[in-house]
Every structure is written in C-alpha cells, then in structure tokens.
Amino acid sequence: MRTMRRDDGLGLTEVMIAMLLLAIIMMAILSLIIISFRTVAENSTRAAAAELATERLELVRSSAATGDCTVVSGTASATESWTDARGVPLQVAGTIANCVQTGDPHGDPVLATVTVSVTTTDPNLSNPVAET
C-alpha cells in the first residue's frame, strides 16, 4: 500500500507572490497617506487665509461706525502680509465699491460692497486662497 506524501508548508513561489502582493498594497497605502498629508497642509493654509479674510471684514465693519467712507475704504484696501503656521506667505488685500454717503443725518454709509482676497506666492496653492 502506498502512502500519500503531505506537503507541510509553503514553497518559495507562494512566499514571493505573497510578498509582491503585500508590497503593492503597501505602496497604494503609502501614496494615500502622502496625499492626505498634503491635503491637510493645504486645508490648514486655507483655514488661516479664511480667518484673515474674516478679520479684515470685521475691521471694515467696525470702521463703518465712523460713518466716513474714506475711513472704511482705507481699512478695506490696506494690504498686509502674513505667514501661516507652515511658513506659507499670505497677502491680504481688499476693495470697496458703492460706499456712498447719503442724506443720513449720521452720515453712515448705506451700502458698500467689500471684497477681501487672500493670495499667496506658494506655487502649490491656487490664488486666491480665500475670498469673501
């Protein structure tokens, strides 16, 4: 009577195929991690830019209490340079339109259109980084 031989273990071919599949999967995961880190960094810069734009709008709103379009326009159109936490340079600038003082006894501007833009010189980000 003949006994059947049992194969105990994996051969070299199976181990090499398993290592190749593992390497392919690890490369895919690594590329996803790299992309996610880049996206988190860009979003951090965009959040800082949005905060700077919001601060500028708040300054314009508070200067509108003076009732003088010249003060409001000066506050809106001032250009400032900032650097975010990652070292990305940001420039904040604004424009104002339709700041017309009417017959209001206090001289308050009735309606003004303010646009605040935050731009950068970083080639990895598109301009404007934030705009309100």
For residue 17, which amino acid is it?
A: I
Q: What is the pLDDT of residues 33-47, one digit of tens each?
A: 999 999 999 999 999
SS3 of residue 109 by DSSP: strand
Q: What is the pLDDT of residues 89-117, one digit of tens each?
A: 999 999 888 776 655 566 554 677 889 99
**pTM of the predicted protein model:** 0.73
